[in-house]
Amino acid sequence: MGRFLLVLRKMAATTIRLSSYLCCLWLIVQVHSVNRDNFKTCEQSGFCKRHRSLQPGQSPYKVLMDSLKISSSQISVQLLNTKTNVRLVLDLYGLQGNTARLKINELEPLKPRYEIPMGDVLVGEPKQQDLKVLDKGSESLTLGLEDNKIVLTFSPFRVDFVAGEEPVVSINAQGLLKFEHFRKKPEAPAEDAAPGEPAEGEEKKEEENKEEEKKPEQEEEPMLWEETFKSFHDPKPNGPSSVGIDVSFPGFENVYGIPEHADSMALKTTKDTDPYRLFNLDVFEYELYNPMALYGSVPVMWAHNEKSTVGIYWNNAAETWIDISSTTADKNFFSKIADLVKGNSEMAQMDTHWFSESGVIDIFIMLGPRPKDVFKQYAALTGSTELPPLFAISYHQCRWNYNDQDDVKNVDANMDMYDIPYDVIWLDIEHTDGKRYFTWDAHKFPSSKDMLNGVAVKGRKMVTIVDPHLKRDDNYKVYADAKSRDMMVKGGGGEEYEGWCWPGSSSWPDFTNPEVRNWWASKFQYSEYDGSTPDLYIWNDMNEPSVFNGPEITFHKDVQHYGGVENRDVHNLYGFYVQKATAEGILMRSNNEQRPFVLTRAFFAGSQRFGAVWTGDNMGEWSHLKVSNPMLLTLNLAGITFSGADVGGFFRNPDSELQTRWYQTGAFQPFFRAHAHIDTKRREPYLLPEENMKIVREAIRKRYSYLPFWYTLFYHGYRSGETVMSPLWVTYPEDKSTFQMDDEYLLGSSLLVKPITEQGAVGTNVYFPGSNEVWYDIETYQSYAGSQSTYINAPLEKIPVFQRGGSIVPRKMRVRRSSSLMVSDPFTLVICLDKQGEALGDLYADDYKSYAYRRGEYIHRVFSFKNNILQSSNADPNGRGASREWVEKLVIVGYPKAATSVHITVDGNSQSLHHSYDSSSRVLTVRKPDVNITKDFSITIQ
Amino acid sequence: MGEYMYFVCFLLVFGVRVNAEIERPRGVSISMASKYEPNNKQTFQCLDGSAQIPYEHLNDDYCDCADGSDEPGTSACTNGRFHCTNAGYTPKNIQSSRVNDGVCDCCDGSDEYEGKIECVNNCKELGKKLREEQDEKRRLHEEGFKKREGFIAEASTLMEGKKLKIKELETEKAEIQEKLKELEARKTEAEGPEKEAKDKHEQAWKEQKDAREKERQAGKAREAFDDLDLNKDGFVDVFEIIPHLEFDIDSNGIVSEEEAKEHLEDHEKVDYEEFSSKIWGNIHSIYKKLVPDEPQQVTPPPVEPQGDTGVPVPTEEPQEESAEEDKMPEYDEETKALIAAADEARKNYEEADKRSRDIDGEITTLTSYLNTDYGKDQAYAVLRDNCYEYTDREYTYKLCPFSTASQRPKSGGHETNLGRWGRWENDKTQVYDHGQNCWNGPDRSVKIHITCGPDHQLTNAYEPSRCEYAFDFITPCACDQHSQPQVKEIRDEL
């Protein structure tokens, strides 16, 4: 968004002459100098205010047991609002994998309420699991779901989930369920505040009782039928439509998730702040440590304690706010539904309150019980991160902008001259012909294919930016085509919606429409996207969407989408669909052979299936380096594992120390891309002072040497939904001291990373988890005991990274100019022994780029070291891939003594190997086993 | 041992050429070949001396030596180097990581022997091209060098001229200094009587004016007295004051008796004598003549100045006195003569003084010219006072060496100052800085990269970083080495 100001300046200076336009620009510029004011507080949002003002207490809702319908895996029952007599319907489903789904909708809505189409966010209809009726009493119904109980209490309505004997999730326990049913707009709001017709056949008594209360309640409710924020009016043609309910986590003190916020990993109580907000927005120079909305939204939350991990996914794409508070559990109630409550000690509880502006209540309750279980459960719903092509997890060199083909060529040549590996060079908006995406500036990029082929010779790729706003220029093919097909989103009056973005006056294709997505995808065909080649990949920016002159810099809420849906209903999904359509385009252009790569700024639950996410326009300041770790941990917890922050920071000019530390950090984060604003000084790594350049080069090379490990991690993530960059508690769930730790993290369970994020720091305290563990410095192989903290010296050249004793990490030490030049290079296995002298690890490999692995063309090896024998065996009989890769070296760390002999046995043939021992670091090196990686082999040490 | 002796003899006979034919490990240059000969223990000593390894471990695709010296022909050592002979072109040492990586880095293709890619040996073509380029470069350089000699001579003449000019100016200045003293004395001499005469004349005029003013005030007092004295009894009393709202001290809308009395200096009434001597002096600034029929309650607000011209609209009463009366009479003839004499003396002095200052300016300019660093042999001095332009798609860039760098849009519009002459960063790079400030950024600056060329020409202009520009400039001034540029030896086919 910061780019925005500059472009205005350029536009004003060069092309724009109309004074009215200048006036308009001036207004926007004014607005942007005070960024917080651009965005709504809860107080300025009608439905937020209405829901937040609810007080915990008796819920007006009760379950109408007469209406109960039970099928094998689902119950359906009506809920009555005893104040308004409006009826809702509750559906409760048992799902496979310790998961339940709870849906609440109006029984008879005036028109259907919006629900996200099946297959878009949810990968498909979730597989159901039988529910058993355990007990049906006059006050409650108890259901069994695998080893869990679900207790539905009738009056007031609440649902409790009990895992084993522990209550873990309670819904509507505080009675905050509020469901704004569709209603007819009252003629004169002051006179007739009655909401709709009372349902038939209700007890008169109740109706009368509540009659008096109705009116004052209605009158208090602000901004039901229209609201205004700054100069923007929201006519709300459908009136109030919000939904909200409370979700409590008894027994938990920490909750996580709900990105994207620039905040700590462990979520904070929102008593003294606004609620956490989920509303995809382009926020200029965002502030740190507050609950303001950012570019993306994933309404998933985890609660974790020593005993279990549970969570919910709130399946709603409208603007959503979440209040969080910590309290103590109501033991009286829980003693009735679970045989717990030993002793008198208080039980902690996290209360959360969720409310969305429209749609329905659709909650998935994932009952764990282990961290890795909930990730799998969530992945079963919204999918896992697709296995990225290898280049995508390598180093990316980006800047707004590489000016022209010569610039690209020079950067490429300089990276080689300084021997700094990189895989992808990126082009920002200036590469286009007047911000018309899918085009090239004919003067700066006259022969883009030559340029692409030039970098591709060295195995490199390029990425161009393609944003969703289309310049309203009838001579612009893409716009004219979309316009003639009537594919744009519409304004409230049904006209083609128009707003300002990079190209000036713009319109936006309606990506919520599957036909539009197909049309968009077809634009990436080589025949359509002139000057593109198979080495060109895509970056979607501004897809919140960013509308410079729109309310909160985005669409008006009453913008109309496909199927009579308002942006109000689908706002948080727009960017998701843009990336989905783009990824489909990249996939299609290769006839579904090659894996796509698309980076997006806006995202939603499920975006992990379409590519990578970055944390938007951060700043080149130490605080932003520091916050990148909790932000990426939270994204990982929410399934967006392929994520990163702009290395160096987008805005400002970071000094060489900050750049150095940022590269060191980025080298150990999942998505590793340097990026910079057009106003900043050039900062390609070779421009750093020599000392820093060498350190940065070393950090990037380290990334390349660990690529086999990263690739294997991503494979696991793809298969099981696991995090790539993980909080320590994912691997050490019982270690309370790690629950709020977000400056230190694990990659898989093998590498412990504590990046230096403080200016001038020459060391840091590292916490080594696991009481029985031993950790080894990856450089010196010095060992550290688990379950304690040690001060580690970290002068500028040092990245504190440690390998867990008991793990085997595959590396490639022959770092070349790009990852694809390394695909047939040999592996070095770094075997760090645990206290028993054992270790375990694995390696996944394939062709690193295509979908051939889905036809079994991959290898998955498991390495185990035990009783002085390293065994390599096939981890997956489905993997039948071939490979030229081989094993060149074993580094056995923590080995007690020199060996007398080392033998390798392959196919029954035994051969002795050279070896050496360094007694000071206790490292035994085995020379050149020279065995193809696909082979079973064993290496015996005597 | 005998073999060795034979070999030595062989060397003595056939010299170095034969040495090149020795079998040497892949990736080793001829000059290093001897270090890679097998010894009698069949071991290889790492070049840094760190280890001794079995000879068969040389180039066996596993890195044994810390310095990477055991794998000159493979990619095994991260810090190793591979030597391409590149017969017909220049030899090259490449990083081991570029061996067998599927990219042709050596023109002889020797770095890609595993067959990941077919590399065409194009060393001959490259060598030919290089030789041609070098010949051309050498030719240009020699041509440029000759021109440069001329420029140096020109610069030297120029410098001498400037130095001479300074000397002349200094002489002239010394003379003027002398003359100035005299002229100043003459000026002082003439200004004394002039001042005396003028003062006298002005003093007389002032007295005359004061008397006239006094008279006028008296007239006004009489008029006011008559006006105030409504009953015409020859006194102005308290009740005659009351209707005059301007005497409302506490602004309550009425003039009380006390207020009226206060204005009459505590008298109930005063006669004209008292009025004119004691009262009028105090009230003449607030007193207003009563306007019959339309008693003014509130004075209208003064008219605000309008428009942004800032010219105040006069709100004062028009001056009654005629301009004629206010004008000082002309000086008498005697005074006029004195003034004319003084004017003449002043003029003479000022002219001389101006010339003196102009000379200072000229000297400063010349000195600064002479003090500027025009590079080795002052060769670049000839560029001064010239400007060179380069036009790209959008802008015309202009370099005026040792002065300024600028750009202007081709479509017209203002010229932007990109920087003023700053310094030599090194003998081929100039910096022009402190240009126009960039919005939200630094002051603009330009680096000029200078290379040897046949003429003075700005050949490229670009903006590598926002508001940090770079120009490429060629000039014979940069052809400063008599010998041709250092050319790497082109290895002929052996």
Nearest to A814 among B75, B440, B464 (CB): B75
Closest approach of B469 to chain A, Cα-based (Å):
12
- Using DSSP's 3-state secondary structure scheme, residue A589 falls into helix
Sheet architecture: strand order including A751-753: A725-726, A745-747, A751-753, A801-804, A774-777, A783-785
Closest C-alpha among A318, A307, A384, A314 to residue A348: A307
pLDDT digits (tens), chain B, 494 positions: 444 444 443 333 333 333 445 579 999 999 999 999 988 999 999 999 999 999 999 999 999 999 999 999 999 999 999 999 999 999 999 999 999 999 999 999 999 999 999 999 999 999 999 999 999 989 989 999 999 999 999 999 989 999 999 999 999 999 999 999 999 999 998 898 889 888 988 898 888 888 888 888 788 888 888 888 888 888 888 888 888 888 888 888 788 888 888 888 888 888 888 888 888 878 877 888 776 554 445 444 544 444 444 444 444 444 444 555 677 888 888 888 889 989 999 999 999 999 999 999 999 999 999 999 999 889 999 999 999 999 998 899 999 999 999 999 998 889 999 999 999 999 999 999 999 998 777 899 999 999 999 999 999 999 888 889 999 999 999 998 765 444 455 554 43
pTM, 2 dp = 0.84
Q: What is the pLDDT of residues A336-382, one digit of tens each?
A: 887 765 666 789 999 999 999 999 999 999 999 999 999 999 999 99
Percent of chain A with pLDDT over 90: 89
Contacts of A459 in chain B (CB under 8 A): 102-103
How far does the CA of residue B466 sit from the closest CA of chain A (Å)? 6
Which is nearest to A513 in space by CA: A124, A123, A117?
A: A117
Say which residues have a Cβ less than 8 Å from residue A24's Cβ, sequence separation at least 6. A500, A549
Do A682 and B463 lie within an 8 Å CB cutoff?
no
Q: Residue A824: list chain B partners with CB under 8 A.
A: 116
Q: Are A458 and B60 inside 8 Å of each other by CB?
A: no
DSSP 3-state assignment of A862?
A: strand
Contacts of A817 in chain B (CB under 8 A): 97-98, 101, 103
Pairwise CA distance, residues A711 & A844, whole Å: 7
Q: Which two tokens mark A927?
A: 């020379």
Interface of A with B (CB under 8 A): 5-6, 9, 14, 403, 419, 443, 457-459, 678-682, 813-817, 821-822, 824-825, 888-889, 927-928
Q: Which of residues 69-98 of B touch A (CB under 8 A)?
A: 75-76, 78, 95, 97-98
CA-nearest of A497, A520, A494 to A508 is: A497
Chain B residue numbers with beta carbons less than 8 Å from the beta carbon of A415 are none
Report the residue of B52, B57, B103, B393 to disrupt the A interface, i.e. the one with the largest count of A CBs within 10 Å: B103
The ipTM value here is 0.90
The verdict on whether A535 is a catalytic residue reads no
Question: Does B463 contact A at CB distance below 8 Å?
Answer: yes
Residues 6+ apart with CB under 8 A from A740: A254, A264, A265, A266
Beta-carbon pairs below 8 A across chains A and B: 56
Q: Are A73 and A128 in contact (CB under 8 A)?
A: yes
User: Which chain A residues are closer than 8 Å to B60 by Cβ?
Assistant: 928
- Residue A807 pairs in a beta bridge with A832, A840
Give the integer Cα–Cα distance in Å for B394 and B407: 10
Tokens of residue A659, six digits: 């750049």
Ramachandran quadrant class, B181 (left: phi over 0; alpha: psi -120 to 50; beta: rest): alpha
Cβ of A816 and B440 within 8 Å? Answer: no
Q: Which of B62, B103, B462 lies closest to A458 in CB terms?
A: B103
The one-character DSSP state at B310 is: -
Separation in Å, CA A747 to CA A129, A208, A668, A726, A744:
33, 62, 8, 6, 10
Q: How far apart are CA A176 and CA A442, in angstroms?
A: 59
Q: Could you tell me which residues are beta bridge partners of residue A250?
A: A349
User: Which entry of A160, A617, A735, A834 is annotated as an active-site residue?
Assistant: A617
Interface contact flag, A682 B78, Cβ < 8 Å: no
Write out the H or E segment, with its range, that includes residue A636: helix A622-637
| CA A185 – CA B21 distance, rounded (Å) | 98
pLDDT for the residue numbered B242: 83
What would the two tokens of residue B259 be? 């207020």
Is B75 in Cβ contact with A888 (below 8 Å)?
no
Token pair of B243 as six digits: 């209707």
Find, among B444, B400, B442, the residue nearest to B421 by Cα: B400
From residue A62, give the alpha-carbon distance in Å to each of A70, A175, B303.
Answer: 18, 10, 75
Task: Answer whether A391's CB lies under 8 Å from A421's CB.
Answer: no
- Chain A hits for B409, Cβ within 8 Å: 14
Which residues make beta-bridge pairs with B447? B431, B470
Asked if the C-beta of B217 comes within 8 angstroms of chain A's C-beta atoms, the answer is no
Q: How far is the C-alpha of A598 from the C-alpha of A585, rounded, in Å?
A: 10
CA distance A519 to A541: 19
CB contact under 8 A, B101 and A816: yes
Low-confidence ranges of chain A (pLDDT < 50): 1-34, 189-219
At residue B292, what are phi and psi to the nearest 5 degrees?
A: -65, 155
Nearest to A828 by CA among A916, A892, A760: A892
Nearest to A398 by CA among A624, A614, A641, A703: A614
Say which of A403, A814, A888 has its CB closest to residue B97. A814
Say whether A678 and B466 touch across the interface (CB within 8 A). yes
Q: Which residues of B touch A433 (CB under 8 A)?
A: none
- Using a 10 angstrom Cβ sphere, with 0-12 exposed, 13-18 middle and 19 or more buried, the burial of residue A471 is buried
Yes or no, beta carbons of B78 and A825 under 8 Å apart: no
In a 10 Å sphere around its CB, with 0-12 CB exposed, 13-18 middle and 19+ buried, how is residue B156 labelled?
Answer: middle
Of the candidates A419, A815, A821, which has its C-beta nearest B103's C-beta? A821
Contact predicate A87/A80, CB 8 Å: yes
Q: Which of B98, B101, B466 has the CB atom closest to A679's CB atom?
A: B466
Q: Do B61 and A888 touch (CB under 8 A)?
A: yes
Which 3-state string (H, E, C) describes A340-366? CCCCCCCCEEEEEEEEECCCCEEEEEE
Given this model, what pLDDT does residue B490 score? 55
Number of CB atoms found within 10 A of residue B174's CB? 11
Residue A541 a catalytic site member: yes
Contacts of A11 (CB under 8 A, 6+ apart): A25, A504
DSSP string, A700-743: HHHHHHTHHHHHHHHHHHHHH---SEE-HHHH-TT-GGGTT--S
Find the residue in A nearest to B392 (Cα).
A443
pLDDT of residue A12: 37
Query: Distance (Å, rounded) from C-alpha A497 to C-alpha A479?
Result: 13
> Element (H or E) spanning B309, and its range?
none
Across the interface, whether the CB atoms of A814 and B464 are under 8 A apart is answered no
Compare CB distances from A443 to B393, B440, B466 and report the shortest one's residue.
Answer: B393
With an 8 Å Cβ cutoff, are B465 and A681 in contact? Answer: yes
Nearest CA in chain B to A928: B62
- Kindly write down the DSSP assignment for every residue of A111-144, as one continuous string: SPPP-PPTTTSSSSSPPB---EEEEE-SSEEEEE
Closest chain A residue to the Cα of B412, Cα to Cα = A14
Among B353, B204, B228, smallest CA distance to B284 is for B228
DSSP B31: G
**Alpha-carbon distance values, A922 to A832, A868, A916, A919 (Å):** 11, 15, 11, 5
* Structural tokens at position A16: 């724009």
Find chain B residues with C-beta within 8 A of A682's C-beta: 464-465, 468
Q: What is the pLDDT of residue B260?
A: 82
Pick from A517, A521, A542: which is nearest to A429 by CA? A542
